[in-house]
Structure 1
């Protein structure tokens, strides 16, 4: 069985992940246009149309991005993606994730990570996460689900200047 980094449908009780489409731009930007979403992110200006347009273009081109949708209401929750699959290292990255403030603190991020990890661990032994050095909220959340910090380095986000990121790892075991 080969690793499809953008399966047609992943779902649990709280959320469903649907492959990101060009037609999702407006509803996703509506969630992303809140500056609080990006406050601690390496690019705090992604709430602006030009910066978000660049983010969205990269997401579409990645062929691994998902629209996160509330399973009960079909509301747009945010976006995440798989990227940098390395068959030789048996690893993949999960990232470029954002969740609308309305959904913070309600289990959506945990449900998202569990869904994505459970799927990925059918194909790989390691999942990495790049998290901005000053994104304390995301660092705290990823540690809560068992990730450990393994490295620090500059990451060049799609079409953006490089920024210091911490690398976290969760092993299949």
Structure 2
């Protein structure tokens, strides 16, 4: 699977993240409120985000999310490395001006359609206390699994839960016909 194709929807273009996206993406990420309920709540700080950005470039699979109407970079997401017949979608964030208006669902639909052409299952690792991301997962048809793990973030151990969307559930689910 190509982990960095160009994916185009009605309102968004997802294209491979580039080093020259730093300024535009940090302008979005520097908003403290984007990270307020995220386990990595300090990611708005430049040194922390700089490492996140460097990891995204180095690891591959990362996208700049572009609003087609304005041409602006409004966020990012990425594919993890494939493991045991599944792939992860995560590390996603959008500018607050694009919250609650279907942009996250479109971004995930584009990424899911591409990934599920190659894998039976896509997983999402979400901080158990991250109510915004958990609600978004349920909105797009993610099913909470019985899998979880602990990870240290910002010096604190926290539980993360795993949601999944399978090829079958995606074909029948809430994102099937959304543009």
Fold conserved between structures, TM > 0.5: yes
Does residue 116 (structure 1) correspond to residue 111 (structure 2)? The answer is yes
Corresponding residue of 1:172: 167
Pick closer, same or farther for the CA change 1:4–1:101 going to 2, 3 Å: same
Alignment check: 8 A CA contact 1:90 1:123 kept: no
Per the alignment, do residues 71 and 162 of structure 1 end up closer, same or farther by CA in structure 2, a change over 3 Å counting? Answer: farther
2:66 is the counterpart of 1:69: yes
Residue equivalent to 2:4:
6
Q: Which runs of 5+ in 1 are unaligned?
A: none
User: Is 1:152 aligned to 2:151, yes or no?
Assistant: no
| Aligned mates of 2:22, 2:157 — CA distance in 1 | 25
Alpha carbons of structure 1 residues 44 and 90: separation in structure 2 relative to 1, 3 Å: same
Of 148-157 and 162-171, the range deviating more from structure 2: 148-157
Shift in Å at residue 62 of structure 1?
A: 1.3
Residue 54 (1) aligns with residue 58 (2): no
1:29 and 2:14 matched:
no
Number of equivalent positions: 167
Partner of 2:78: 81
TM-score using structure 2 length: 0.88
Q: Partners of 1:163 and 1:54 in 2: how far apart?
A: 20
Structure-1 residue corresponding to 2:176: none
RMSD: 1.6
How far the C-alpha of 1:145 sits from its partner, in A, is 1.4
Contact 1:149/1:167 (<8 A) preserved: yes
Aligned-pair CA distance for 1:160: 7.9
Distance 2:3 2:143 in 1: 23
Give me the whole-angstrom Cα distance separating, in 1, the residues matched to 2:73 and 2:48. 19
- Residues 46 and 23 from structure 1, CA distance in 2 versus in 1: closer, same or farther, beyond 3 angstroms? same
Pairing of 1:124-163 with structure 2 (within 5 A): 124-150=119-145, 151-155=147-151, 163=158
SS at 2:119's partner residue? coil
Normalised TM-score (structure 1): 0.91
Mark the runs of 5 or more structure 2 residues left unpaired by the alignment. Answer: 169-179
Aligned to 1:44: 41
Question: 1:9-40 CA deviation, whole Å, 9 max, x = no partner?
Answer: 11000100010011111100000000000001
For residues 13 and 152 of structure 2, the distance between their equivalents in structure 1, rounded to whole angstroms, comes to 29
